[in-house]
Amino acid sequence: MNKIAPELENVRSVAIAGHMRPDGDCVGACMGLYLYIKDNFPHIDVQVYLEKIPVSYNFIKGTEDICSDFGADKEYDLFIGLDSGDRQRYGDAVKYLDAAKRSICIDHHISNSGYADVNHIVPGASSTSELIYELLDEEKITNPIAEALYMGIAHDTGVFQYTCTSPRTMEIGGKLIGKGIPFTKILDDTYYKKTYVQNQITGRALMESILLLHGTCIASGIRMKDMEFYGVDTSDLDGIVSQLRNTKGVEVAIFLYEIKAQEFKVSMRSNEIVDVQEVASYFGGGGHVRAAGCTMQGSIYDVLNNLTRRIEIQLKAWENKK
């Protein structure tokens, strides 16, 4: 696709959905596109389907319209899925993809094999929010749309510091700032500031972390009983894996949290050598070269042993090339 407008011709209803446990990029992309359609295609009935979003994202215009109840059956002319490398990651909202007359997938995950009628997948892009920006008419991007897209890009680039950040990413960020958005406040309120319990659980994860593979890998895990003790949910764990990755001398960071007995959600980050997307894909997950995840069963020790075996293969291959 070059622009989104031609895809909306003769369309009367649109469902926009993002992945389970929506992060900043997912919410930013969904809301940016939602607001754009509302502003420029008023004849279209458009609905956003997302699981509960972090309270800090509620500054984005229109978030009160998000539907987090997927019980109703409805057939849309067009389903637009954003930031999901796998159709099952839409959770219960996947039924709107299945029932839609036509579907579009817009994503930047290299593991996305294309599951929609139209697949706009650009693995080199920093974020899905960056892709949405490119699909919109720049002169029609209002301040509220710019706020949503800027948050999405900033979150998925680690505030423009990850290797996925390109010159074009910086250029787009500058253009969005040029719309007059309070970019410093957006970053402070949605990325940097943490609640007291978020700081507590992060501290717990850092304190109990362990070094593996001769200090090249750091890992930490949080069990359900720990989350209950601190009164946190999964959204409060955002950013922990990145904090682990910042440890000097570490190539790979692994953070896992228990979602049910003997089942863990795994997040991985790497610095320069290891392709964590390859590791995650081996265990049925996906993501990016430097940021990926998967879901694994077993004890916490089983999970770490299996992950580190795959990581060690890459580290040894890299050593042999030196």
Q: Are residues 61 and 156 in the same domain?
A: yes
- What's the confidence (pLDDT) of residue 55? 92
Q: Provide the CATH number for the domain around residue 210.
A: 3.10.310.30
- Which long-range contacts link 176-183 to residues 24+ away (Cβ below 8 Å)? 176/133, 176/141, 176/146, 176/149, 176/150, 177/150, 179/141, 179/142, 179/143, 179/146, 180/143, 181/143, 181/146, 181/147, 181/150, 182/147, 183/150, 183/154
**260 pLDDT more than 90:** yes
Residues 196-220: what's their mean pLDDT?
97
Beta bridge partners of residue 105, listed in sequence order: 81, 119
Identify the domain boundary among 122, 157, 192: 192
Q: Are residues 160 and 218 in the same domain?
A: no
Q: Are residues 168 and 228 in the same domain?
A: no
Q: What is the pTM of this model?
A: 0.91
Q: Are residues 266 and 118 in the same domain?
A: no
Q: Which residues contact 225 (CB under 8 A, 6 or more apart)?
A: none
- What's the confidence (pLDDT) of residue 38? 98
Residues 72-97: what's their mean pLDDT?
96
> Phi/psi of residue 89, each to 5°?
-75, -5
Identify the domain boundary among 135, 166, 192: 192
Q: Are residues 11 and 80 in the same domain?
A: yes
Residues 271-289: what's their mean pLDDT?
94
pLDDT tens figures, 88-120: 999 999 999 999 999 999 999 988 989 999 999
**235 pLDDT more than 90:** no
Find where tokens 């009367």 sit. Answer: 12
Q: Are residues 282 and 178 in the same domain?
A: no
Q: Provide the CATH number for the domain around residue 99.
A: 3.90.1640.10
- What's the confidence (pLDDT) of residue 12? 98
> Phi/psi of residue 100, each to 5°?
-65, 150
Domain of 269 in residue numbering reads as: 197-321
- What's the confidence (pLDDT) of residue 56? 94
Q: Are residues 233 and 153 in the same domain?
A: no
Rounded Cα distance between 303 and 37, Å, is 43
Rounded Cα distance between 50 and 68, Å, is 5
pLDDT tens figures, 23-62: 999 999 999 999 999 999 999 999 999 999 999 999 999 9
How many folded domains does the chain comprise?
A: 2
Residues 11-16: what's their mean pLDDT?
98
Q: Are residues 185 and 203 in the same domain?
A: no
Residues 255-272: what's their mean pLDDT?
96
Q: What percent of the chain has pLDDT over 90?
A: 95
